[in-house]
Amino acid sequence: MSNIGWKDVLTDDMPVDLAHEIDIFEGQMELMGQGKLDEKVFAETRLRRGVYGQRYDNGQRHDGFESRELEFEELDRIKGPDTLWHAPGMQRIKVPGGGLSPEQLDVLAQVADEYSDGILHITTRQDIQLHFVHIEDTPDMMRRLAAVGITTREACGNSVRNVTCCHLSGVCRTEVFDATPYSEAFAQFLLGHDDVQDFGRKFKPAFSGCESEACGLVMMHDIGYLAQVKEVDGKLKRGFKVFVGGGLGTVPHQAKVLSEFTSEEEMLPLVQAVARVFARLGEKRNRNRARIKFLVAKLGIDEFRRLVEEERKTLPHDDRWTAYLDTLPQYEEKPAKPPTFLNGQVRSTEFNQWFETNVYSQRQEGYSVVTVNLPLGDLTSKQTWELADVARKYVGDNVRATVEQNIVLRWVSDSDLPSLYEDLKAIGLGDPGAGTIVDITACPGTDTCKLGIASSRGLAGELRTRLTAKSASLPDAIKDLKIKISGCFNSCGQHHVSDIGFFGNSRRSGNFKMPHFQVVLGGRWRDNAGSYGLAVGAVPSKTVPEVVDIITNRYIDERAKGETFQDWIGRIGKKEARGMIQPFMQLPAFEQEPDYFSDWGDPRVFSLGDIGIGECAGEVVSLFSMEISPAESEAFEAQIALDENDPARADALAYSSMLKAARALVRTQFLDVGDSPDRIVEEFKTRFFDTELFFDQYAKGKFGQYLLDRHQNPNPNPDNDSAHRLIEEALLFIEATHACESKVGGNVLVEI
């Protein structure tokens, strides 16, 4: 046992590019530790690796009596504006389309107990989150995940977020075709793509197989794809109806149709053109208006479409646009077992209850999808590897996370259902009620989110317990309702698209603040999040269970035959709806109901003092700053290689760092420079060297010459001396790149 780390152990298991990216991130951490990186650049860098801030990381916490300083070591060391280095944070792990294999589950479980608190949380965008993670642990965590093909890249920050896709794609009874391989190709194409690095805000894509079901939720996404088949020249062609500019948040927007039909060949160039338009014209200064929905609203969808079409014409051809089509015929899911039927097996009442809500009969006869109903989207490390074994036994790799914070096992051979149920129950994952009123969605809220106002998870836990206790006696019309809860107006819990939604806010009573939830009624989950609910008023957090009873009872009493909850709310109108909750809006004084002044699961007297600056928007920094930072980190890595007596590697890294810096500079003028070293050097030479823009007042072209020389005359056998010299030169070259960029202007650095 020595100083061997995960990096050494996993070298052969990690894809080379992922491994290198993680090394770069580790280098950037090191530079940040030495105060050599701008705090905003580092914040955005880590966000783009999924390394998020968490509540109290500004070092302040209200203990119910007063706000107190948390005495972390090295209080002056930070990992972003107002964010202490040593404060634990959240790690978001990207899971495209929610697809997980048992091997991946095994590793996720292991990193959760070694680096987090042993709990995995499934999010409303099919991601996985771990909490209370120390930043020093993140590179090794990423390596272990990379070794099983998982990247955290662009999980947060102003980037293309996880690409979601219906969890039923491929087995669904109503889909047009399986959108999964398309969503995967889309995710791969955009991951780290040059044209998605300069957004003012995050960008969330979603894919759906059909129009009427909910699963894909395309209407509430920045860009959404609905599978379509169209006859072109007598042949059936696959493609998508494309939506743009949807989104929840404070002001929810329904997406607009960008294109009625985009063929599969055009899917990738189209999104590339959208990305360029968004990067160029999207708001950067005011992050509250920076999502693409605001750009679409400002320009109007017709003008936006025109700009995208213009942009499309100017795109340099990329083979990858259509290369993925060749892989589509090979795409198939392999069931682990042959199809069978559920005939004659003894079924317990418990099993039947579970069967009714948690089993979906696939399009393919003899198979079903089983939903593992996770309370609040959580499962423990132990449950995770136990679940991985259950998956191995019944379905192999056919596991997906869902946007309702559950996990599904697909391709369960029907006669296995009773034994699968017993196996799930044995690991504490046999809860019935998936997709019903007890299966409540909640964002992290005040538990861990810096922006949380009220305890969305506390409330969800309480409602789940109460509703489960009486679920047997609930009429079907109530059972099928959806409850979704966000801790604040940002809507991470998707409350706008549930029947009964809540988001946290606060009201004052006397000298005290009282946690509240705004009640939002009648949103539509089906039709891909077809319409948003109506905010009817805010009630104290502690009254919400009673409020739910009042609303659901009245619905049962008054509904016409077959009338949906949405229709009923539409019929009674906002005034009537508000009338239902009015009695709860009279606030008691502290002395009358002290309990009202603390939140669910949190006995501290309620305060807003813990709200910090959220990192949902990421930091807006120039494209150049983001791209020069890996160059610096590589030069740093080169020094380490030299210390380790590896001059060849040091030489290669120093050269590569110069190329990265030159590329960053060239891209301030010419986005399409690509990755070829020859091209980068040529563009650098003609644009910056020959024009003398790169020249230093005294040293003239000396620093630029370093790159040109190394490019032209690589040293076949670098020794320590020559590598050392090249590193020195690389550092000077990078410095000169900075100087040139600020002289020429490049992109304007936007302060937030």
Partner 1 sequence: MITPHRLSVKFYFEELSVDAEAFIPVFHRWIRENVVPNELLLDVADYKHILDGPAILLVGHEADYVIDFTDGKPGLLYVRKQDLGADLSNALDTTLSQALNGVKLTESDVELQGKLKLRTDGATIVLLDRLNYPNAASNGDSVDTAASAEAHLSDSLAALFGSDATVARVDNDAREPLTFELRAPSAPDVDTLLSQLGTGN
Which residues here bind ligand SF4, judged by CB under 6 A? 443-445, 449, 451-452, 456, 486-488, 490-493, 614
Element (H, E) at 632: helix 623-643
**At 537, is the secondary structure helix, strand, or coil?**
strand
Distance CA 434, CA 717 (A): 63
Q: Whole-angstrom distance between the N-terminal and C-terminal Cα of the chain?
A: 47
**Token pair listed for 355:** 């069967």
Interface with ligand HEM includes 215 (CB under 6 A)?
Answer: no
Residue 453 tokens, joined: 């106002």
Interface stretch with partner 1, choices 35-43, 353-361, 456-464, 622-630 (CB under 8 A): 456-464
**Of the candidates 424, 333, 388, the residue with the CA atom closest to the CA atom of residue 108:** 388
Q: What is the per-residue binding string for ligand HEM in 37-56, x denoting contact by CB under 6 A? A: ---------------x----
In the stretch 360-379, what mask flags binding to partner 1 with x, by CB under 8 A? Answer: ---------------xx-xx
| From ligand SF4, partner 1, ligand HEM, none, interface partner of 204 (C-beta below 5 to 8 A by class) | ligand HEM
112 binds, among ligand SF4, partner 1, ligand HEM, none (CB under 5 to 8 A by kind): none
SS3 string, 208-272, reads ECCCCCCCCCHHHCCEEEEEEEEEECCEEEEEEEEEECCECCCCCECCEEEEEEEECCCHHHHHH
Per the structure block, which two tokens stand in for 40? 């905003």
Instruction: Strand 407-413: give its sheet, edge to edge.
Output: 99-100, 399-401, 407-413, 367-372, 359-361
The interface mask with partner 1, positions 68-87, x = CB under 8 A, is x-xxx-------------x-
Q: Is 444 in the site for ligand HEM (CB under 6 A)?
A: yes
Q: Does 541 bind ligand HEM (CB under 6 A)?
A: no
Q: Which listed residue (146, 155, 412, 449) binds ligand HEM by CB under 6 A?
A: 449
Q: Where does residue 327 rank: exposed (0-12), middle (13-18), buried (19+ CB within 10 A)?
A: exposed
Q: Residue 553 and residue 500: Cα distance in Å, rounded?
A: 13
The amino acid at 583: P
Structure tokens at 747: 């992109």
Laid out side by side, the sheet with 51-52 consists of: 51-52, 89-93, 128-133, 119-122, 378-380
- Give dist(CA 608, CA 48) in Å, integer: 28
672 binds, among ligand SF4, ligand HEM, partner 1, none (CB under 5 to 8 A by kind): none
Query: Which element (helix H / strand E) includes 61?
Result: strand 60-62
Closest CA to 490 of 518, 515, 462: 518
Minimum separation from the CB atom of position 142 to ligand SF4 (A): 23
Q: Calculate the alpha carbon distances from 545 to 102, 116, 572 in Å.
A: 38, 32, 22
Listed ranges 100-108, 448-456, 532-540, 638-646: which one lies at the site for ligand HEM (CB under 6 A): 448-456
Partner touching 9 among ligand SF4, partner 1, ligand HEM, none, CB below 5 to 8 Å by kind: partner 1
Task: Rank residues 39 and 113 by Cβ distance to partner 1 and give the closer one.
Answer: 113
Q: Which does 602 bind (CB under 5 to 8 A by kind): ligand SF4, partner 1, ligand HEM, none?
A: partner 1
Number of residues that bind ligand HEM (CB under 6 A): 24
Give min distance, CB of 381 to ligand HEM, in A.
18
487 touches, from ligand HEM, partner 1, ligand SF4, none (C-beta below 5 to 8 Å by class)? ligand SF4
513, 606 in Cβ contact below 8 A? yes
In the region spanning residues 352 to 381, those forming contacts with ligand HEM, defined by CB under 6 A, are: 377
Q: How far is the CB of 206 from partner 1 (least distance, A)?
A: 28
DSSP state at residue 93? E
**65 touching partner 1, by CB under 8 A:** yes
SS3 373: coil
By a kind-dependent CB cut-off of 5 to 8 A, residue 109 interacts, out of ligand HEM, ligand SF4, partner 1, none, with: partner 1
Under rule CB under 8 A, residue 466 binds partner 1: no
Q: Is 484 helix (H, G, I), strand (E, B) or coil?
A: strand
Q: Which stretch binds partner 1 (CB under 8 A): 250-258, 579-587, 598-606, 709-717?
A: 598-606
Site of interaction with ligand HEM (CB under 6 A) = 52, 90, 123-125, 129, 204, 248-249, 377, 405, 443-444, 449-451, 490-492, 494, 614-617
Site of interaction with partner 1 (CB under 8 A) = 1, 4-6, 9, 55-56, 61, 63-65, 68, 70-72, 86, 88, 106, 109-110, 113-114, 117-119, 131-132, 134, 375-376, 378-380, 382-383, 385, 428, 447, 457-458, 461, 464-465, 601-604
